[in-house]
Amino acid sequence: MKILPKILFAAVLTTAASSCDDFLDINENPNAFTQESVAPDIILAQALTNTAAIYTGNNPSYNSYASWAAGYWTKTNTVSGYGEEQTYNYSTAYYAGLFDNTYDNLNDYNIIQTRGATTGFPNHAAIARIMKAYGFLLLVDQYGNIPYSEALKGAGNVTPKYDKAEDIYADLLVQLKGAIVDIDAAHDDATARLVSREDVVFGGNMDKWKQFANSLQLRILLRESQTASDAINNEVKTQLAALQNAPDGFITSDVVVQPNYAINAGQQNPLYNRYAYTAAGTGATERNYQVPTQYIIDQYVNNSDPRVSQLYTRGARVIDGVNTPGYIGGVLGEASPPTVGTASASTRQASRFLGANSLTASGGIIKGANAPTPLMLLAEQKFNEAEAETRGLFTNGEAEAKKDYLDGIKASFIYFYRPASTSLGAINASTLAGATAETPGINQYNTFIATTEAGGANVANPLVNFDVATTKGGLGKQEIIIYQKYLALNSVASVEAWDDFRRTGFPKIPLAGQAAEAKFPARLLYPLSELSTNSANVPTGVTQYSKIFWDVVD
């Protein structure tokens, strides 16, 4: 491992400037600072912004990788390539940047935590502690065993050992609990520096950081709740019983990063910048390369789900010589992919992501250049609570599981219909209980849920109507919960859906048509950079089909 600290700087944090794009301006001379002298508040905003980009929109990003793997995306006939996406023949170069970029980001948080604990910035240190757990979780879930206990030592140890994934999971829970304790201690410390606008997630609200830490614990515990180890499963049950009644509760709104994205070079929302339009108004390089799969489109259309029109444009196909509009997707690995141009007798015109079709459009996935970037959706949290409840891991019962299931769908509608320009403050202040008919997405949600009532299109649909959903022993109604969660995470937090699929086997997404073997991949391969610099410690015998410890469902 040859990752050494690279400290990030934002001009707004060292000046009195207040322009809307300050957090994305890098005007300071990096040579003026060292790891030993930089104040934690100097680099927090940029570290958080980089995490969001790595998670959702960067090249590479966890979201883009998982959007292919989890059945959301396929290719068009505009571009060749995408062989690894269609065959699962992964190489050490495939998405290799995720490994190095995540560790680089973790180095920044490590500096914030280390410096913060000794220089009067305990709140900043606690935020960094939470975000380190967030980043390490991403790495473990895609790579399994990774450098952890000896990582982030800089030049002090460039060949760290690899820790077992399950051991890292256990310590991530310790770190998240510890961060909450740190925040409480800082609250009582009159000398502790407060967090201000450098917190581009919660604006310095440390109670919300504690809630986020609890929600991350729930994500971790559910992910390892169906392993082949009785010891792990029993420990999960014990910890979930305690977490259910955590004093600070869980997140109550989407967790997003908003460093004041703007239509300027280097300052746009990363997902929009990569897959829609540049700051100059020209189409992004990859704008015409990927489209939705027919599978994901069908899940909305077949369920009379109005979100389909908020996520995608209509495509077309020529039927009996007539150009016939409709929601048209592709099939991953097919010999004749669709086009983004005009349909012909031999080629379908694919639906596009709404928002990538024109500069004036705004959709649910591609919202706009100034839209915030999610770190965790409230929909995920509510579905996680519903799963814990239907499985008896939380003791609230099936009625509460249904309520949280419906709240998960409601939170998804609100996210997908929320305008790009909604402020960070407004998002953080929002609650599901406070949603009204004036809240974007609520009327569409009510229309959708009405289809489960007598005479409605989904009254007997076990993938929409919770009351008629299949119950499977101790797993309860997990299948319907994971299915609707999959629809809520679509192309925004796809890596969580991909992890759920490997953990539960739901939903039943189709295998790529060119799959080299009749099975899905289970992980990414360690990058060549790691094999070249830390070969003595890199686990051997690993293939893309080697499962993470929590992946036990075939």
8 A C-beta contact, residue 166 and residue 148: no
- Phi, psi values for residue 531, rounded to 5°: -65, -30
| 488 pLDDT higher than 60 | yes
The predicted-structure confidence for 273-315, as pLDDT tens digits, reads as follows 999 999 999 999 999 999 999 999 999 999 999 999 999 999 9
8 A C-beta contact, residue 476 and residue 391: yes
What share of the chain in percent tops pLDDT 70?
A: 94
Question: Out of 7-21, 255-269, 486-500, which region has the weakest mean confidence (pLDDT)?
Answer: 7-21
Helix (H) or strand (E) holding 376: strand 373-376
The predicted-structure confidence for 460-484, as pLDDT tens digits, reads as follows 999 999 999 999 999 999 999 999 9
Six-digit token pair at 97? Answer: 């940047």
pLDDT for residue 10: 37
Six-digit token pair at 36? Answer: 């030993």
Calculate mean pLDDT across residues 69-90: 97
Residue 155 — very low, low, confident or very high, per pLDDT cuts 50/70/90? confident
Calculate mean pLDDT across residues 378-390: 98
Residue 554 — very low, low, confident or very high, per pLDDT cuts 50/70/90? confident
pLDDT for residue 34: 65
Residue 378 — very low, low, confident or very high, per pLDDT cuts 50/70/90? very high
8 A C-beta contact, residue 167 and residue 239: no
Please name the amino acid found at residue 411. A
Residue 26 — very low, low, confident or very high, per pLDDT cuts 50/70/90? very low
| 319 pLDDT higher than 60 | yes
pLDDT for residue 147: 98
Coil vs helix vs strand at 20: coil
Six-digit token pair at 283? Answer: 């189409």
Three-state SS for 126-195 is HHHHHHHHHHHHHHHHHHCCEECCCCCCHHHCCCCCEECHHHHHHHHHHHHHHHHHHHHHHHCCCCCCCC
Q: What is the DSSP letter of 30?
A: G
Burial 525-534 (b: 16+ CB within 10 A, else e): bbbebbeeeb
Residue 38 — very low, low, confident or very high, per pLDDT cuts 50/70/90? confident
| 41 pLDDT higher than 90 | yes
Q: How far apart are CA 417 and CA 159, in angstroms?
A: 47
In the chain, the N- to C-terminal Cα span, in Å, equals: 33
Taking residue 518's Cβ as centre, other Cβ atoms within 10 Å add up to 6
pLDDT for residue 6: 53
| 45 pLDDT higher than 60 | yes
Mean pLDDT of the chain: 94
Q: Are strands 322-326 and 315-319 parallel, antiparallel or unpaired?
A: antiparallel
Q: How far apart are CA 128 and CA 186, in angstroms?
A: 14
